[in-house]
Amino acid sequence: MRRAVLALISAAMALALAACGAPEGEKALAGIRDALAEGAEAAVTAEVSSTLGGRYAEYTLSCAGSGGEYTLEVLEPAELAGVSARCSGGEGELEFSGLVLSCPVPEGLTPLTALPALLEALEGAQAVLSWSEGDQTLVSLDVDDELGVTVAFGEDMLPVSAEFTLSGESAAVCEIKEFSISHGT
């Protein structure tokens, strides 16, 4: 009897904690998804750091697009500033100083594909958990069996950061400087 009561109390507490922040996180995600479904385009500028492959990499990138078609530009480091890429359906083009090189888009997460992966996750990955921490609402998204991303939304319900995990290990962190949704002209 005592175990049953403890189990019931534990289940009720877990349910109550799981619901914390859920409506706000779901609303923020739904707002972005609704806009993108109506043909809007998302744009993000972020500092991306990664430890993939045991190597540390840090870039400041901007990315815009929706529906699997994205344009990415390297802003920092200065040596790579101005390099841009267009990605669509697994195919890509790198561009610098008017020179264009066709190339495949690498499979899986890389530091340079983190922002397109973030926009794709916001557009369609399965939301599995939502909660609040201070002024932020966080939503955990499952991209696939190995890749997940936790997105933090600020008070304005726009993303302020994202952390990718690959097989449960931290793979990349995006500190978002700007995020916007535009509805074309």
Q: Which residue has the higher pLDDT, 10 or 89?
A: 89
Domains of the chain: 22-179 (2.50.20.10)
In 3D space, the residue among 135, 161, 166, 158 whose CA is nearest the CA of residue 150 turns out to be 161
Q: Which helix (H) or strand (E) holds 125?
A: none
Q: Compute the average pLDDT of residues 48-65.
A: 92
Q: Which residues contact 133 (CB under 8 A, 6 or more apart)?
A: 152
Residue 132's pLDDT is 93
What's the whole-model pTM score?
A: 0.82
Residue 95, SS3? strand
Q: Which residues contact 60 (CB under 8 A, 6 or more apart)?
A: 45, 46, 47, 48, 74, 75, 76, 177
Residue 104's pLDDT is 60
Task: Report how far residue 184's alpha carbon sits from residue 179's, in angstroms, rounded to the nearest whole number.
Answer: 16
pLDDT digits (tens, 9 = 90+) for 96-153: 767 777 776 666 788 888 999 999 999 999 999 999 999 999 999 999 999 999 999 9
Task: Report how far residue 60's alpha carbon sits from residue 55's, in angstroms, rounded to the nearest whole number.
Answer: 17
Task: Report how far residue 126's alpha carbon sits from residue 148's, in angstroms, rounded to the nearest whole number.
Answer: 9
In the chain, the percentage of residues whose pLDDT exceeds 70 is 83
Residue 106's pLDDT is 63
Q: Are 36 and 123 in contact (CB under 8 A)?
A: yes
Task: Report how far residue 137's alpha carbon sits from residue 153's, in angstroms, rounded to the nearest whole number.
Answer: 5
